[in-house]
Structures are given as C-alpha cells and as structure tokens.
Amino acid sequence: MAFKIAYSNPEPPPKRRPQKRSDYLSFIHELPCAVTGRYGVQAAHVSFANSWHGHYGRAKGTKAPDRFALPLSPEEHDLQHSGKLGSERDYWASKGIDPHELANTLWGLFCDYDYSEAVVRCTARINQGLTRIQP
C-alpha cells in the first residue's frame, strides 16, 4: 500500500527566488528588537513557510527572502535558531508573535513611506506589539 505525502503548502514555491534587498536589511538594523525592544539588532530571517503570507520557505542553501527578516537582538536571534524552545515556529509562538504578519507589516511600511517616517512607524508597531505580549 502506498501513502501520499501531503504537501503542506497549497501552492508550489515560485521558480525564481526574490532578489536580495540590502537597503531593507539596513533599515531593519534601525529598529528595536521585536521581542525585547532593545536596539543593536540583527536581521533575523523567518525560515519556515507560510504561503498565506507569501512565504514559501527557503530553497536549499539559501536564506528566506529579505522581506521576511525581523529585527532581533543577538541573544534572541541565537535563541531563534538554537532549538532550545523547539522549532523556529515554537520559538515565535512562545513569544506571542506571528512572524509572517509582523514581517509583512514592516515591509509594507518600509515600501509605503520615506525612510525616516517608516522607521518611526515600524518602531511604533513593534512597541505596540511589545505592550500586547508582555505582562
């Protein structure tokens, strides 16, 4: 008896990978950490797929698209990838953050406003999320 492996994404991944966006990664470094609110962040790419949000995961040997990078302190970035809290999906769930939703929000603000206003608006969005998830 043969078993069919269920494809977790309803859509196949795109054939062409998105271009790298060094301007966006520089922008991410201007923001506070999405988990702690501290500055001095690294651009942490969300690796797991979520086709609803347009993220089809990583191709072999590549990072996720830069659009799905979030600002994390070096300690949180290490924790994100360490497996100490389980999978990367488990890490984000433990923080009470939907990383795909937040990444799309930051990306949209970056695209819609001039640089300085985008920094202000993204910082405000991150800070609003921090007050929502912290006791």
pLDDT in tens, 94-104: 999 999 999 99
What's the rounded Cα separation, in Å, for the pair 56 and 38? 29
What is the per-residue pLDDT for 57?
Answer: 66
For 57-80, what is the mean pLDDT?
Answer: 83
Per-residue confidence at 127, pLDDT binned at 50, 70, 90? very high
- How much is the pTM? 0.79
Mean pLDDT of 57-67: 69
**What pLDDT shows up at residue 5?**
46
